[in-house]
Amino acid sequence: MTIFDGITERSVRTDRYTANVLERPADDQGTPVVLVHGNVSSSLFWQPTMLDLPVRSLAIDLRGFGGSETLPVDATRGVRDFSDDVASVLDQEGISRAHFVGWSMGGGVVLQLLLDRPDLVESVTLVSPVSPYGFGGTARDGSLLTPDAAGTGGGGANPDFVERLRSGDRTDESPTSPLNVYRGSFVAPGFTSEHEDVWVTSMLSTRTGEDNYPGDSVASESWPGFAAGGRGVLNTMSPVHFNTSGIVHLADKPPILWVRGDLDAIVGDESFFDLFTLGKHGIIPGWPGEDVAPPQPMVSQTRDVLDAYQQAGGSYRELVLEGVGHSAHLERPEEFRAALLEHIGRG
């Protein structure tokens, strides 16, 4: 079973798309928790967290993921197609205020929602979030390394991994199989889960193609020869389209909890999902050097923006979990639950 006991699944039709929503009701009728998944995943990954919470919780599948409707993703809007979709579900459900939790790309979706619909946001929790300056192609201050952010977006996806997603591969025969990507990147080495089949099912729900994952690309004169296009998931996080550092200037600043693992293979100051890191280590040939194409300091960028957010009147807490990879909510559920409940005033 992919849906755990105690959780319901239903469709919610909004004026933007038909969303698949998981929900766990609770006697506590206070402000609900809304959970937003990351890339190559779905709301299924949130089920253990939902079962741990004493308050009503909802996990929403983004367009092209899980059980939600497949619609094109306009990457020129950054992640706004996703954040507007999430807002449309809350509006349809009559939820005027919520605690938002965003994982990986979902962290960027939540920060974009905070920028565009601050009326909805009671608090923010970020789990291994994408940098406020997007994924790849920027210096520490968020400035572009090249005008077109070469090396970012849809062209950076491994084509064999994309094909294995499309074909529904559940084997462990290749390093690029979804199962091995989960084991090697989503969680820290050695972590095991009785629900591994569910997590792979969640990954395989990702719809592939130029309008969805990974998206299109365009040629670039700069190394490695391509830049972000305007369609599809990976392009939404290219810094030519994405920047949520404007949270610093919000008039109302809800508290932010930032949770990350010290062994995160996807989001880090030298991530091996960043092509410039691969170039630096000789995995991709022709790297032009540290002065031209340094790896993106993702964690430092997030901390810099959150420090500025705090200096401008907001507040945040950074929780680093030792021995944890990209999925703190799965790998250390008790610690994650305690931190989240304290953050939302239920601890």
The tens digit of pLDDT for each residue in 299-331 reads 999 999 999 999 999 999 999 999 999 999 999
The tens digit of pLDDT for each residue in 49-98 reads 999 999 999 999 999 999 999 999 999 999 999 999 999 999 999 999 99
* Max CA distance (Å), the chain: 59
Two structure tokens written together for 112:
């974009």
Q: Mean of the pLDDT values across residues 229-248?
A: 98
The residues spanned by each domain of the chain are 8-142+236-284+295-343
Q: Mean of the pLDDT values across residues 283-298?
A: 97
The tens digit of pLDDT for each residue in 108-135 reads 999 999 999 999 999 999 999 999 999 9
Q: Is the pLDDT of residue 229 over 90?
A: yes
Q: Mean of the pLDDT values across residues 272-298?
A: 96
Q: Is the pLDDT of residue 347 over 80?
A: no
CA neighbours closer than 13 Å in the CB half-sphere of residue 76: 1
CB within 8 Å of 163: residues ≥ 6 apart? none
Q: Is the pLDDT of residue 223 over 80?
A: yes
pLDDT value, residue 279: 97
Residue of 256, 240, 237 whose CA lies nearest to 248: 256
In angstroms, what CA-CA distances link 285 with 144, 279, 281? 22, 6, 9
Q: Tell me, which fold does domain 8-142+236-284+295-343 have in CATH?
A: Rossmann fold (3.40.50)
The tens digit of pLDDT for each residue in 147-200 reads 999 999 999 999 999 999 999 999 999 999 999 999 999 999 999 999 999 999
Q: Is the pLDDT of residue 28 over 80?
A: no
Indicate the pLDDT class of residue 334, thresholds 50, 70 and 90. very high
Indicate the pLDDT class of residue 20, thresholds 50, 70 and 90. very high
Q: Is the pLDDT of residue 29 over 80?
A: no
pLDDT value, residue 251: 97
Indicate the pLDDT class of residue 202, thresholds 50, 70 and 90. very high
Two structure tokens written together for 164:
């294995």
pLDDT value, residue 30: 87
The tens digit of pLDDT for each residue in 245-269 reads 999 999 999 999 999 999 999 999 9
In angstroms, what CA-CA distances link 242 with 74, 102, 149, 277? 12, 16, 11, 20
Measure the CA–CA gap between 246 and 225, rounded to whole angstroms. Answer: 30
Indicate the pLDDT class of residue 240, thresholds 50, 70 and 90. very high
Indicate the pLDDT class of residue 145, thresholds 50, 70 and 90. very high
